[in-house]
Amino acid sequence: MQLHDKLEIVSGVGPALAAKFAQLNLYTIQDLLFYFPRRYDDYSNIQPIKALQPGVVTIRAQIKDIKGRYVRRGMHITEAVASDSSGSVRLTWFNQPYREDQTKRGQDYFITGTFAMSYQRLAITNPSIELVSDFPVSTARIVPVYRETKGLKSAQIRRVIRNVIPMVDKLNESLPAWVLKEQGLIGRAQALHQVHFPDDIKDLEEARARLGFEEVFELTLAALLNKYEILNTKTLKIPFKEALAKEFVGHLPFTLTDAQRKAVWQMYLDMQKAHPMNRLLEGDVGSGKTVVATMVALMAMEQGFQVAFMAPTELLARQHAETIHALLEPLGYADQVGLLVGGLKPNQKKLAQEHIADGSVRLIVGTHALIQEKVDMHKLGLVVIDEQHRFGVDQRKALQKKAGHMPHVLNMTATPIPRSLALTLYGEMDVTVLDAKPSNRLPIKTELCSPHSRKQLYSKLEAELKSGRQMFVVCPLITDSAMLQARSAEQVYKEFTERDFKQFKVGLLHGKQKAEDKNRVMEQFVKHELDILVSTTVIEVGVDVPNATVMLIENAERFGLAQIHQLRGRVGRSHHQGYCYLMLSDAKAPSQRLRALAGNQDGFALAELDLELRGPGAIYGTFQHGQLDLRIATLTDVKLITRARQAAQDVIDKGENLLDYKELYEHVNALRAVTNLN
Ligand code: ADP
Ligand code: MG
């Protein structure tokens, strides 16, 4: 047998069984060795029969008087007596007629099952039995329980793994010996053996510690290697001009927060270096990232470089273009700001492309169109990526390819990144946190509402609108659906215009509208030609309308915590008090999770919670190979991650040649593509 042999060659595995394993993506012996148990049942306590108490029990006994019979049509019963030196107990199996022939008399068995009353007699019902002389995997030990699939039970998986487990000795150690020693970890073969068939709890813990460490170590090593690669790449330096920075700040309608000033300064330093900046600017919704990015971009523009400013949606791109235009107007740079999105008319698009090519437009705000369209970006000095986790790795890479060199990169996100992820997934980036909001902000009042209180709520909202504020309403659906019991934007729009908010101007915005309709509605709302905007989650990211103070979310329990936090961030963006109302589907809707939101303005804490509840993939974008779904370690274990990262750093500092550790090298290379966020 070889590690890469197909499972069919394992004794007891025919084509039919192999096909079932294939449903679990298990094809080779090696695949199976790395198919870790989901959990364990501890049947290691072997008791004398005399001492048995009702419950799950394990005994070591001989089996005699085994006899099967049909009690009625379709109902077969096998009965036997098991005896050890302390006494005897009845065994009963239902509908397992093969037991009678397969059980050997006069030999010692381990027997595990539930000891309880059955037909007025105490018996062990449907026990698993294994010969003591075999290597027991389902009885008398800590028993691994695997994720099953249709027609493939955990017990069967266990038996096949038993047949291949000696193969672990053919696996190479994947960590340097000094790392094992320093970290107090057991070897790989031993760990794999023990993770499937642990001798005791302590061995199991050691096995999991070793395998969990390996996972996180590989991830952090991949991120660090990417980081060093960037450090060794040359790019165009962008020197800092103090007078220009001062002029920009002088024209702002507000003073920058300390956090904003520090962030800008840090990035000016970054861009003066010979290697590309690769910084993540992390700031909760409303913390003022756009102005920071604009100020950084200005420095690049001034020196004749182009800046690509990428936004995840066309709506946001348009809004950014306008904001940046206004910010740069007083300095005389407004004409250098251009927009390139899919929704432009062909002649507008052509014009934009020409202006980019002849260099009269230096800051191009856009969506994916920036990647897809023919745009000449050979002078690209800086890429700003807003809401970076909304972009795939490939898209970001494509932009870089277009430029023909690696530009400085500023990633921005409102989704707080827990420290554990900052060290792993985001490990190659330098992180700056905007940890303070502009001082004029009040915490947003968040309330859970039952539909019974809709009337009272509406009269509160009416008062707020009458005082001159605006309101967002977000629904989970665009159109009513027979399948889903949830409120649709179209339905709510109808109710509002015809009945509930007749005296106000109401707009409707959703993803199925034409781009120009969306833009028109959004513009009307920004200009306060509309009081209420009924919408779907298209408005989730980035939209900035400081006069809007109310966010009403329908069927709130259908949304993720991070998502609601983002939506909530659309209000409370000025000195006015912001309100967020979470309308539940009905009085009985599950709301426990949502209560965390009501009591918590801290996007960071909510992100930690979301990470625990839904895993990293759901929050931090889609990662192609699912490699992030770690099998043993959790990405919330900061201690482990810190340790692994230090070890990875040591491996680099010591100049270890990864080619000496073939498997580590392969894994790390695969992970580099995943963690490479540029
Ligand atoms: P986000 O970080 O969510 O992208 P924005 O950049 O959209 O936030 O900024 C939110 C609002 O705060 C904008 O209206 C912006 O003009 C305003 N703003 C930004 N910085 C400050 C500041 N230092 N003081 C007051 N308002 C600010
Ligand atoms: Mg923003």
pLDDT at 623: 43
Out of 260, 291, 295, 385, give the residue to mutate to test ligand 1, the one with the largest number of ligand atoms within 8 Å of its CB.
291
pLDDT at 541: 63
Average pLDDT for 253-259? 94
CB atoms within 10 A of CB 23: 11
Report which bound ligand comes closest to the CA of 542.
2
Here the tokens at position 132 are 């003591």
Report which bound ligand comes closest to the CA of 260.
1
In whole angstroms, what is the distance from residue 236 CA to residue 379 CA? 10
Please say whether the structural domain 445-600 has been given the CATH code 3.40.50.300: yes
pLDDT at 535: 95
Average pLDDT for 642-654? 93
Assign 121 a pLDDT band (cuts: 50, 70, 90).
confident
Here the tokens at position 500 are 């509930």
Out of 573, 575, 576, 601, give the residue to mutate to test ligand 1, the one with the largest number of ligand atoms within 8 Å of its CB.
573
Do strands 306-310 and 363-366 pair parallel, antiparallel, or not at all (unpaired)? parallel
- Sequence length of the chain is 678
Q: Which residues contact 408 (CB under 8 A, 6 or more apart)?
A: 235, 238, 270, 271, 276, 277, 278, 300, 381, 382, 383
Average pLDDT for 3-21? 94
pLDDT at residue 166 tops 70: yes
Atom of ligand 1 nearest to the CA of 544: 7
Give residue 635 CA to ligand 2 midpoint distance, Å. Answer: 26
Do strands 548-553 and 470-474 pair parallel, antiparallel, or not at all (unpaired)? parallel
Task: Kindly report the average pLDDT of the chain as a whole number.
Answer: 89
In whole angstroms, what is the distance from residue 600 CA to residue 418 CA? 16
Q: What are phi and psi of 357, to 5 degrees?
A: -65, -40
CA–CA distances in Å: residue 146 to residues 27, 35, 197, 440, 666: 16, 8, 12, 54, 26
Give residue 388 CA to ligand 1 midpoint distance, Å. Answer: 18
Sign of CA dihedral 418, 423, 425, 426: positive
Atom of ligand 1 nearest to the CA of 386: 4
* 61-93: pLDDT as tens digits: 999 999 999 988 889 999 999 999 999 999 999
Residue nearest to atom 26 of ligand 1 (CA): 438
Identity of the amino acid at 273 = K
pLDDT at residue 584 tops 90: yes
Atom of ligand 1 nearest to the CA of 257: 23
287 lines ligand 1 (CB under 6 A): yes
Give residue 296 CA to ligand 1 midpoint distance, Å. Answer: 15
pLDDT at 614: 67
Please say whether the structural domain 45-140 has been given the CATH code 2.40.50.140: yes
Cα angle 11, 12, 15; round to 5: 105
In whole angstroms, what is the distance from residue 601 CA to residue 15 CA? 56
Out of 254, 410, 440, 571, give the residue to mutate to test ligand 1, the one with the largest number of ligand atoms within 8 Å of its CB.
254
Assign 391 a pLDDT band (cuts: 50, 70, 90).
low
Q: Which residues contact 668 (CB under 8 A, 6 or more apart)?
A: 218, 221, 222, 225, 658
- Cβ 193 vs Cβ 34: under 8 Å: no
Average pLDDT for 335-355? 90
Report which bound ligand comes closest to the CA of 440.
1
Assign 416 a pLDDT band (cuts: 50, 70, 90).
confident
Do strands 87-94 and 363-366 pair parallel, antiparallel, or not at all (unpaired)? unpaired
Higher pLDDT, 516 or 580: 580
Average pLDDT for 657-669? 87
Q: Angle formed by the axes of helices 201-231 and 638-653, to 10°?
A: 50
Residue burial 163-195, b: 16+ Cβ < 10 Å; e: rest: bbbebbeebeebbbeebbeebebbbbbbbbbbb
In whole angstroms, what is the distance from residue 611 CA to residue 421 CA? 10
Assign 624 a pLDDT band (cuts: 50, 70, 90).
very low
Here the tokens at position 185 are 């970890």
In whole angstroms, what is the distance from residue 648 CA to residue 654 CA? 10
Out of 544, 568, 575, give the residue to mutate to test ligand 1, the one with the largest number of ligand atoms within 8 Å of its CB.
544
Q: Which helix (H) or strand (E) holds 382?
A: strand 380-385
The least confident of 313-327, 338-352, 365-379 is 365-379
438 lines ligand 1 (CB under 6 A): yes
pLDDT at residue 387 tops 80: no
Average pLDDT for 453-471? 96
573 lines ligand 1 (CB under 6 A): yes
pLDDT at residue 394 tops 80: no
Residue nearest to atom 22 of ligand 1 (CA): 438
* 201-217: pLDDT as tens digits: 999 999 999 999 999 99
Q: Which one, of 678, 620, 619, lies nearest residue 385 by Cα?
A: 678
% of the chain at pLDDT higher than 90: 61
228 lines ligand 1 (CB under 6 A): no
Model pTM score: 0.74
Atom of ligand 1 nearest to the CA of 290: 6
Please say whether the structural domain 242-272+287-413 has been given the CATH code 3.30.70.260: no
Report which bound ligand comes closest to the CA of 323.
1
Atom of ligand 1 nearest to the CA of 323: 16
Cα angle 326, 327, 330; round to 5: 85
pLDDT at 293: 98
544 lines ligand 1 (CB under 6 A): yes
pLDDT at residue 633 tops 70: yes
Asked whether the domain spanning 445-600 has the same topology as the one spanning 45-140, the reply is no
Average pLDDT for 274-299? 92
In whole angstroms, what is the distance from residue 292 CA to residue 435 CA? 13
The least confident of 122-126, 596-600, 642-646 is 596-600
In whole angstroms, what is the distance from residue 102 CA to residue 306 CA? 78
Report which bound ligand comes closest to the CA of 311.
2
Q: What are phi and psi of 356, to 5 degrees?
A: -70, -45
Q: Which residues contact 148 (CB under 8 A, 6 or more apart)?
A: 154, 157
Average pLDDT for 472-486? 90
Residue nearest to atom 9 of ligand 1 (CA): 288
pLDDT at 485: 86
Report which bound ligand comes closest to the CA of 284.
1
Here the tokens at position 451 are 């539909």
Give residue 420 CA to ligand 2 midpoint distance, Å. Answer: 24
139 lines ligand 1 (CB under 6 A): no
In whole angstroms, what is the distance from residue 194 CA to residue 207 CA? 6
Average pLDDT for 304-313? 90
Q: For 346-370, what is the HEC assignment?
A: HHHHHHHHHHHHCCCCCEEEECCHH
Domain boundaries in the chain?
1-40+154-170, 45-140, 242-272+287-413, 445-600
Give residue 241 CA to ligand 1 midpoint distance, Å. Answer: 24
- End-to-end CA, the chain: 42
